[in-house]
């Protein structure tokens, strides 16, 4: 990258996949179909883009860095690849619904996510999941383990609940730190995410559910009741106690002990109480 006049910043979470064998393995294990349209997040100079383009109908390659995007364009031209559209934009600023309109069906996502925005990107994909069939994303290994953690595990947290509410998540490929440039301090893991359409346990208001989850884990050392009372949800002791009783959840439990279904049940009861007060 240095020989091409590009300086990568570790502080921005910029780590590019540099091992072509690992890239080929990721694309192969994701089992893309010839008619797939794939949104690639953080395309870089094409480590994943090139093998991906040979497997699918079209690739929407998002790369915000102008210089890197130019190199990617040159690499694609040199290989005679013409089914890739390069989008010079931050994925957090992209209109995902508009991009999905380019596909006849829900599209798929592939991404080597910058470490510093990986959680934000995941939440954004959850928000737009109605137009996404599945995603294959690279996270720091610790983050990937948190996403898949079950209730009762110390790694279980807000993102665990959000992703497990609407999707099945599974490990796809473990990637050693040595496969990236610059080399990060930790290994990574590619996870597969299959979104449920519809979800197994439907929240009456998903935005409200996510607020409840955020509040519950915001003070995870406190009991669930005290964590909710200390949030800005504007429920008093009586309302929270009533909702917990209706949901058959002991108020002394902590957030990490609640299953996804229990969070949905609690959220729905609190939402019902909120509507009754209006």
Fold assignment, 206-277? Helicase, Ruva Protein; domain 3 (1.10.8)
262's enclosing H/E stretch is helix 260-277
* pLDDT of the residue at 11: 46
- Which of 112, 122, 111, 176 shows the shortest CA–CA distance to 146? 122
Q: What is the CATH number of domain 2-195?
A: 3.40.50.150
pLDDT in tens, the chain (278 residues): 554 555 555 545 678 999 999 999 999 999 999 999 999 999 999 999 999 999 999 999 999 999 999 999 999 999 999 999 999 999 999 999 999 887 777 899 999 988 899 999 999 999 999 999 999 999 999 999 999 999 999 999 999 999 999 999 999 999 999 999 999 999 999 999 999 989 999 999 999 999 999 999 999 889 999 999 988 887 889 999 999 999 999 999 999 999 999 999 999 999 998 766 65
246 contacts 219 by C-beta, under 8 angstroms: no
Domain boundaries of the chain, sorted by first residue: 2-195, 206-277
* pLDDT of the residue at 8: 56
Q: Do domains 2-195 and 206-277 have the same CATH topology?
A: no
Six-digit token string for 13: 């979470």
* pLDDT of the residue at 13: 60
């Amino acid at each position: 990258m240095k020989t091409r006049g590009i300086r990568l910043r570790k502080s921005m979470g910029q780590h590019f996949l540099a091992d072509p064998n690992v890239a080929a393995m990721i694309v192969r294990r994701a089992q893309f179909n010839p008619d797939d349209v794939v949104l690639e997040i953080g395309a870089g100079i094409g480590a994943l883009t090139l093998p991906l383009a040979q497997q699918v109908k079209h690739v929407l390659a998002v790369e915000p860095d102008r210089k890197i995007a130019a190199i990617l364009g040159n690499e694609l031209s040199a290989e005679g690849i013409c089914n890739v559209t390069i989008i010079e934009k931050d994925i957090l600023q992209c209109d995902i619904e508009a991009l999905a309109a380019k596909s006849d069906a829900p599209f798929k996502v592939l991404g080597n996510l910058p470490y510093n925005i990986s959680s934000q990107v995941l939440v954004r994909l959850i928000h737009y999941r109605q137009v996404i069939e599945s995603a294959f994303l690279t996270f720091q290994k610790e983050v990937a383990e948190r996403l898949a953690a079950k209730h009762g595990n110390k790694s279980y947290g807000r993102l665990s609940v959000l992703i497990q509410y609407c999707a099945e998540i599974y490990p796809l490929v473990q990637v050693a730190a040595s496969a990236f440039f610059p080399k990060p301090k930790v290994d990574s893991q590619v996870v597969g995410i299959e979104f449920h359409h519809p979800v197994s346990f439907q929240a009456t208001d998903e935005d409200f559910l996510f607020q409840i989850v955020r509040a519950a884990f915001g003070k995870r050392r406190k009991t669930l009741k005290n964590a909710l009372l200390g949030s800005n949800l504007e429920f008093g002791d009586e309302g929270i106690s009533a909702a917990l009783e209706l949901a058959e959840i002991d108020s002394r439990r902590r957030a990490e002990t609640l299953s996804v279904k229990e969070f949905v049940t609690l959220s729905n009861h609190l939402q019902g109480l909120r509507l009754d007060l209006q």
